Structure 1
Amino acid sequence: MSAQDDLEAAAREELEQACAPGWRALCGHTPWGDTFEGFTPAGREVCFERSYLWEVEAGGDIRVEVNVYEPRADDEGVRLHRTIPRPTPA
């Protein structure tokens, strides 16, 4: 696996975990972000940045951003995002 593929795999996995709680659980914590160290699937040490932002306006859709990079190369890495739509009232 190439270094880029390894970073992409780590970013995809982190994005899935970041979105897993869903809109209702995340809305009370948005906007919020954190950076922490961890390991890629291939065992490389990397930094993970996770951010929860309002897509357009507070209380609307939540934009989840993930950036995974090597600690000494923060301008290089993989940045992914996904939008968690606000649920429509039943």
Structure 2
Amino acid sequence: MTDELTQMAQEELNSACSLTWPELKRITPWGDSFEGFAPSGRTVEVERRYLWALDPEGAIIVEVEVRDAAAREGVEARAILHSPAGSR
């Protein structure tokens, strides 16, 4: 079942990283969580976090965690996004 959570975390991370740089800058630092359903139908909690990176300075860390509290398992996915040339 962890493979299912890994797939969900990666899909949510891809979605979270699809924002434009100006959109990312406006919402960082920020996070939210919501209840969703895994492909198997079980209820999971999805948490997204947008954080300023210390290294490299000016980058944004995007983290996603998908948890199944009842099964006591969870998976995290993470990306570091760098500002486009000329943006800050």
Which category of TM-score, normalised to the shorter sequence, fits these structures? 0.7 to 0.9
When normalised by structure 2's length, the TM-score is 0.86
Task: Note closer, same or farther for the CA distance 1:22–1:83 as it changes in structure 2 (3 Å cut).
Answer: farther
How much has 1:28 moved relative to structure 2?
Answer: 1.0
Q: Deviations over 1:12-55 (max 9, x none)?
A: 11101111113221101100001110012332210001000001
Structure 1 gaps of 5+ residues are none
Residue identity (%): 45
In the aligned structure 1, how far is the partner of 2:28 from the partner of 2:7?
25
Q: Would you say the 8 A contact 1:32–1:52 is kept in 2? A: yes
| Alpha-carbon RMSD | 1.9
Which residue, 58, 61, 69 being the options, matches 2:59? 61
Q: Would you say the 8 A contact 1:63–1:83 is kept in 2? A: yes
In the aligned structure 2, how far is the partner of 1:83 from the partner of 1:9?
19
Which residue, 67, 70, 80 being the options, matches 1:72? 70
Structure 2 gaps of 5+ residues are none
> SS at the partner of 2:65?
strand
Aligned residues: 86
Greater per-residue strand proportion: 2
Runs of 4+ in 1 over 3 A off after TM superposition: 71-74
